[in-house]
Amino acid sequence: MSQYPEARFIKSADAPSQFVPDTGAEVAFAGRSNAGKSSAINVIVNRRQFARTSKTPGRTRLVNFFSLDGDRRLVDLPGYGFAKVNNKLRNHWAELMADYFESRQSLRGMFLIVDIRRLLTEFDRQMLQFADAVGLPTHILLTKTDKLKRGQAAKALLELRRDLAGAATIQHFSALSRLGETEARAKLDEFLTLSPGG
């Protein structure tokens, strides 16, 4: 059974005026396009295709709000680094993200989804710096761990943890094998119970 039996999709927003009311607490899932954000959400809430996934990068183009229960939410953000989008769409994305991160009082933490085979991209680093600057706690799901041998996966985690130097917490994750689901849920619940401003 889902740990969040009341979880439901609320709405997709393409502009700040469409964001859901900024009350309660929410955690945003950010990361490179195709990194596995929507898949991670589905494992965490334990529902298939709750957030829509796709083999085609750039599937999630809108800010998708989900209710977990009461006034607690998950937000599936559109991925960045999608090569095929034109400049106009890229600028729209950047503006939408800036509006979201700068305005949301209910934002308690960020889950940054990183493909273990690619490690941190320049944009991931920018997101980390931004979160750090606004005091937003960040947790990294090093996903698609199933694609690497155990030793390689362990090495990647150690290197990244050293590289982060405490800027974010980090764990292995796999939407395929469900590795790390309990740890991810515990972190999500921790973020959602934080009071505003940490």
Ligand X SMILES: Nc1nc2c(ncn2[C@@H]2O[C@H](COP(=O)(O)OP(=O)(O)OP(=O)(O)O)[C@@H](O)[C@H]2O)c(=O)[nH]1
Position of tokens 């991160």?
Answer: 101
Q: Which does 178 bind (CB under 5 to 8 A by kind): ligand X, Mg ion, none?
A: none
Q: How far apart are CA 135 and CA 198, in angstroms?
A: 7
User: Which residues, 19 to 48, sit near ligand X by CB under 6 A?
Assistant: 31, 33-39
Nearest to 47 by CA among 8, 21, 92, 20: 8
The smaller minimum CB distance to Mg ion, of residues 164 and 176, is found at 176
**CA–CA separation, 193 vs 145, rounded Å?**
28
- Token pair listed for 131: 């979160």
When computed from its CA atoms, the radius of gyration of the chain, rounded to whole angstroms, is 16
Least separation in angstroms between CB 53 and ligand X: 3
Binding to ligand X (CB under 6 A) within 49-88 occurs at 53-55, 57-60, 79
Residues 75-94 binding Mg ion (CB under 5 A) are none
Q: Which does 106 bind (CB under 5 to 8 A by kind): ligand X, Mg ion, none?
A: none
Q: Are 42 and 175 in contact (CB under 8 A)?
A: yes
Token duo for residue 141: 């799901």
Single-letter amino acid, residue 147: K
Q: Which of residues 101-140 bind ligand X (CB under 6 A)?
A: 113
146 binds, among ligand X, Mg ion, none (CB under 5 to 8 A by kind): ligand X
34 binds Mg ion (CB under 5 A): no
39 binds, among Mg ion, ligand X, none (CB under 5 to 8 A by kind): ligand X
Binding positions for Mg ion, rule: CB under 5 A:
37-38, 59-60
